[in-house]
């Protein structure tokens, strides 16, 4: 049974990990994925471009942001897990969002992609040894462990699911 190490999680990421701290990392990844995909599959297609306020992301942009972030964090986990000591750059989420082609995607297509993406993330984490899970590296000038990256992936998804339900879909849930 794994647990996140709050002593080594950068402050910015702690709010994400709070959502999943009581689960084993693999269980957290599975549970958050199921919860998210179930909600995304309930979103009517005509709601996909809805924004709860001007200048906020649309539902589909938010979902694409969640996938972009998972891909980047899983890549970091792969690099650190393989004992790669190269410092990695950060990314600017607001630069990525308009480039995700979200408006030309269907909500169902995004849900399917989210489900497949999480399966590959799980494949990655299932095969990390306990030693690999404890390895650390630098990304965006922050030291992160592989295990904590798994919790951040799951927690980031859970954080945005909560926002999706509260701000975008209050009438659907």
Residue 58 Rama label (left phi>0; alpha psi -120 to 50; beta): beta
How far is residue 25 from each of residues 1, 7, 87, 90, 145, measured CA to CA in Å? 8, 17, 24, 23, 13
Domains of the chain with bracketed CATH: 14-168 (1.20.120.450)
Q: What is the pLDDT of residue 130?
A: 97
Residues near 148 by beta carbon (within 8 Å), at least 6 away in sequence: 4, 5, 8, 9, 13, 17
- Under the banding of pLDDT at 50, 70 and 90, the label for residue 172 is low
DSSP E strands in the chain: the ranges are: 136-139, 142-145
109-136, pLDDT tens digit by residue? 999 999 999 999 999 999 999 999 999 9
Query: How far, in Å, CA of 59 to CA of 31, rounded?
Result: 21
For the whole prediction, is pTM greater than 0.85?
A: yes
- Under the banding of pLDDT at 50, 70 and 90, the label for residue 171 is low
- Under the banding of pLDDT at 50, 70 and 90, the label for residue 1 is confident
Residue 173 scores a pLDDT above 90: no
Altogether, the residues listed in the chain come to a count of 173
41-57, pLDDT tens digit by residue? 999 999 999 999 999 99
- How big is the CA angle at 146 (ends 97 and 126), to the nearest 5 degrees? 95
CB count, 10 Å around CB of 66? 22
60-114, pLDDT tens digit by residue? 999 999 999 999 999 999 999 999 999 999 999 999 999 999 999 999 999 999 9
Q: State the average pLDDT over residues 3-27.
A: 95
Structure-block tokens of residue 73: 């964090």
User: With 0-12 CB in 10 A as exposed, 13-18 as middle and 19+ as buried, what is 53?
Assistant: exposed
- DSSP three-state, residue 169: coil
């Amino acid at each position: 049974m794994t647990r996140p190490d709050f002593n080594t999680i950068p402050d910015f990421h702690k709010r994400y990990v709070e959502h999943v701290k009581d689960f084993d990392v693999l269980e957290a990844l599975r549970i958050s994925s199921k919860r998210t995909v179930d909600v995304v599959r309930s979103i009517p297609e005509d709601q996909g471009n809805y924004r709860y306020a001007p200048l906020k992301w649309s539902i589909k942009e938010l979902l694409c942001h969640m996938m972009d972030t998972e891909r980047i964090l899983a890549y970091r986990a792969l690099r650190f897990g393989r004992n790669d000591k190269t410092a990695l750059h950060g990314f600017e989420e607001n630069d990525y969002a308009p480039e995700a082609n979200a408006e030309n995607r269907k909500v169902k297509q995004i849900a399917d992609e989210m489900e497949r993406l999480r399966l590959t993330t799980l494949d990655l984490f299932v095969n990390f040894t306990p030693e690999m899970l404890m390895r650390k590296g630098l990304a965006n000038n922050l030291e992160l462990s592989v295990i904590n990256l798994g919790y951040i992936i799951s927690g980031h998804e859970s954080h945005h699911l909560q926002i999706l339900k509260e701000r975008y879909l209050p009438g659907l849930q």
